[in-house]
């Protein structure tokens, strides 16, 4: 094993020496697209082409779904004893950890997140997730229903069949694991469609899964664009379920595809505009730290990023100053291959321009650009926007309603608790929220009244594989993480025996 680089130049040298696999993975092998088409994958770090990736379409999707269906019906994975499934998945988790540096480098090159986070968060969390569900393999039990004395009603959990997992570009490894691991432990076969902006780590994961002993056809990866690969998966009559994380707009398309095809199951984790509610008695230092990290971590490219702050007017200016201090002193923007950097590049030029467009919109709507709002590190050829605070906003502004998905914080002062609660819920989204106060009565009033899948009290972005993650309203439905995630990849069958 190579020694881990400790400097930017060391990681750059490692990156330039990489030979990156860009082919699809279907039926246990790396294969070119049937059309032979590929697309260039450019790193957001500097715009450099880092890989040529298979451009999969309907024919490749058909091939992957056929392989998945064949493996499922043959029972090569579905019918393995729980202890055997557990052994393979534990080995899979171990191989992810053994390839930590390579997977982290791929993730950073592909999506522009800083190498320190890829090493400490993304790859370890992926491995931990696979291990978590591996440990469930021999602990899931059927049930016996309480019926009459001459009847036996068994409630059996059975896998659905072929699961299509469509994942976004912001946390490719973590979210792929959230879908893949529970679907596999339930006994399904999986076709994974990574975002076209972030296919590289998923392609490598498939090879590691085969190395761990996963049978051919059980885990397939089809890189490609949404219209050419994602839509055919959504419409495919032999896919039993689509589990999707991404925009609300595309999530709605998945529902239409399911209705227009075979009424396949759909699970959606979509957009967010998560609010922080900061009451007058809050610990402002703790709140400022939670808010700053909650929006500037991963360049704000996080589904549940705390992108709105509703703050009591009496502490408004003090809080904004403290947020700026935390960002300036702790969350510096730099080259993603620099181990000291805490903010990296946005995913692509089009997205960077979209984020900057919201800054211009903020000015026209009457908000104040307190800091940031500009493209930086232009000379690198990469796509960087500095940490931005849009102050003195109102809840009816577009910047407070629409998901910006960048390092942009919208601050909205309020005067009354009722006004704060209305503002927190004044959104089509309901993914997450936070309440900052020393008054636990107020904290629990807000946590009950805010419509969101997760509400933190005096914290933000704390998580565990033991807790479910997902949203209310147009943030979607269904849950990733926790034992409950397995349930959506299975169905109940009642077996009723009458005897005398």
Query: Based on the domain organization, do 368 and 384 belong to the same domain?
Result: yes
**How many folded domains does the chain comprise?**
2
The verdict on residue 3 lying in a domain is no
CA distance linking residue 220 with residue 213, whole number of Å: 14
End-to-end CA distance of the chain: 66
Query: Based on the domain organization, do 256 and 110 belong to the same domain?
Result: yes
Whole-number pLDDT of residue 2: 78
Q: Residue 19: which residues within 8 A CB-CB, separation 6 or more?
A: none
Query: Based on the domain organization, do 93 and 147 belong to the same domain?
Result: yes
Work out the pLDDT band at 361, boundaries 50, 70, 90: very high
Span 149-164, pLDDT tens digits: 999 999 999 999 999 9
Report DSSP state, residue 333.
B
Q: Can you read off the two tokens belonging to residue 73? A: 């019906």
Query: Based on the domain organization, do 122 and 179 belong to the same domain?
Result: yes
Query: Based on the domain organization, do 258 and 402 belong to the same domain?
Result: no
Whole-number pLDDT of residue 500: 80
The verdict on residue 87 lying in a domain is yes
The verdict on residue 451 lying in a domain is yes
Q: Can you read off the two tokens belonging to residue 257? A: 């595809």
Residue 239 clears pLDDT 70, i.e. is over it = yes
Query: Based on the domain organization, do 180 and 200 belong to the same domain?
Result: yes
Give the mean model confidence (pLDDT) for residues 247-259.
98
Q: For the chain, what's the residue count?
A: 500
Q: Report the side by side order of strands in the sheet with 476-477.
A: 29-31, 24-26, 219-221, 189-193, 162-166, 241-245, 265-269, 476-477
Query: Based on the domain organization, do 255 and 401 belong to the same domain?
Result: no
Work out the pLDDT band at 1, boundaries 50, 70, 90: low
Whole-number pLDDT of residue 57: 98
Span 16-73, pLDDT tens digits: 999 999 999 999 999 999 999 999 999 999 999 999 999 999 999 999 999 999 999 9
Contact 184, 64 (CB under 8 A): no
Whole-number pLDDT of residue 41: 97
Query: Based on the domain organization, do 281 and 393 belong to the same domain?
Result: yes
Nearest to 243 by CA among 270, 208, 225: 270
Q: Residue 365: which residues within 8 A CB-CB, separation 6 or more?
A: 393, 397, 398, 399
Q: What are phi and psi of 16, to 5 degrees?
A: -70, -20
pLDDT, averaged across the chain: 97
The verdict on residue 471 lying in a domain is no
Span 384-429, pLDDT tens digits: 999 999 999 999 999 999 999 999 999 999 999 999 999 999 999 9
Pairing of strands 151-159, 162-166: unpaired
Active site residues: 269, 303
Nearest to 443 by CA among 429, 461, 462, 456: 456
Query: Based on the domain organization, do 119 and 144 belong to the same domain?
Result: yes
Q: Can you read off the two tokens belonging to residue 60? A: 């490749």
Q: The domain that contains 430 carries what CATH number?
A: 3.40.309.10
Give the mean model confidence (pLDDT) for residues 314-338.
98
Residue 200 clears pLDDT 70, i.e. is over it = yes
Whole-number pLDDT of residue 194: 98
Q: Report the side by side order of strands in the sheet with 490-498.
A: 143-145, 151-159, 490-498
pTM beyond cutoff 0.75: yes
Give the mean model confidence (pLDDT) for residues 315-333.
98
Whole-number pLDDT of residue 326: 98
Q: Where are the beta strands (DSSP E) in 313-371?
A: 368-371
Query: Based on the domain organization, do 248 and 131 belong to the same domain?
Result: yes
Query: Based on the domain organization, do 22 and 108 belong to the same domain?
Result: yes
Query: Based on the domain organization, do 187 and 322 belong to the same domain?
Result: no
Domain span including residue 361: 275-464
CA distance linking residue 488 with residue 477, whole number of Å: 11
The verdict on residue 1 lying in a domain is no
Residue 497 clears pLDDT 90, i.e. is over it = yes
Query: What is the CB neighbour count within 10 angstroms for residue 314?
Result: 12
The verdict on residue 404 lying in a domain is yes
Q: The domain that contains 129 carries what CATH number?
A: 3.40.605.10
Span 133-143, pLDDT tens digits: 999 999 999 99
């Amino acid at each position: 094993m190579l020694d881990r680089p400790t400097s930017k130049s060391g990681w750059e040298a490692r990156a330039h020496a990489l030979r990156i696999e860009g082919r699809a993975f279907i039926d246990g092998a790396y294969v070119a697209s049937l059309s032979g088409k590929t697309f260039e994958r450019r790193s957001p770090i500097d715009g450099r082409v880092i890989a040529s990736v298979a451009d999969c379409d309907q024919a490749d999707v058909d091939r992957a779904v056929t392989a998945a269906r064949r493996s499922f019906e043959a029972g090569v994975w579905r019918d393995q004893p729980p202890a055997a499934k557990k052994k393979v998945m534990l080995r899979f988790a171990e191989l992810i950890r053994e390839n930590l540096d390579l997977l982290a480098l791929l993730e950073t090159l592909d999506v522009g997140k800083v190498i320190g986070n890829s090493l400490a968060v993304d790859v370890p969390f992926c491995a931990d997730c696979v291990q978590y569900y591996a440990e469930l393999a021999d602990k899931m039990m059927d049930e016996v229903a309480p019926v009459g004395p001459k009847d036996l009603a068994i409630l059996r959990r059975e896998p659905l069949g072929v699961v299509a997992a469509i994942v976004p570009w912001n946390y490719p490894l973590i979210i792929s694991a959230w879908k893949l691991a529970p679907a596999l432990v339930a006994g399904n076969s999986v076709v994974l469609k990574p975002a076209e902006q972030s296919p590289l780590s998923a392609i490598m994961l498939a090879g590691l899964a085969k190395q761990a002993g996963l049978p051919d056809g059980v885990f397939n990866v089809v890189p490609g664009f949404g219209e050419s690969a994602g839509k055919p998966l959504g419409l495919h009559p032999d896919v039993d379920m689509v589990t999707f994380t991404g925009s609300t707009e595309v999530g709605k398309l998945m529902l239409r595809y399911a209705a227009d095809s075979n009424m396949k199951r759909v699970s959606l984790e979509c957009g967010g505009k998560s609010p922080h509610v900061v009451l007058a008695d809050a610990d402002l230092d703790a709140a400022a730290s939670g808010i700053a990290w909650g929006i500037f971590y991963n360049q704000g490219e996080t589904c549940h990023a705390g992108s709105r702050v509703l703050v009591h007017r009496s502490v408004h200016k003090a809080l904004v100053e403290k947020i700026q201090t935390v960002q300036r002193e702790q969350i510096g923007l730099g080259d993603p291959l620099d181990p000291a950097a805490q903010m990296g590049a946005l995913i692509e030029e089009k997205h960077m321009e979209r984020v900057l467009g919201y800054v211009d919109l903020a000015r026209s709507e009457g908000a104040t650009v307190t800091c940031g709002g500009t493209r930086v590190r232009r000379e690198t050829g990469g796509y960087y926007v500095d940490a931005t605070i849009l102050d003195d906003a109102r809840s009816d502004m577009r910047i407070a309603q629409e998901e910006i998905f960048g390092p942009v914080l919208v601050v909205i002062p309020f005067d009354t608790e009722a006004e704060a609660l209305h503002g927190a819920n004044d959104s089509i989204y309901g993914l997450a929220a936070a309440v900052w106060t020393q008054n636990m009565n107020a904290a629990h009033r807000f946590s009950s009244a805010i419509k969101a899948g997760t509400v933190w009290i005096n914290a933000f972005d704390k998580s565990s594989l033991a807790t479910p993650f997902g949203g209310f309203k147009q943030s979607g439905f269904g849950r990733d993480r926790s034992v409950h995630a397995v349930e959506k990849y299975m169905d109940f069958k009642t077996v009723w025996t009458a005897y005398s």
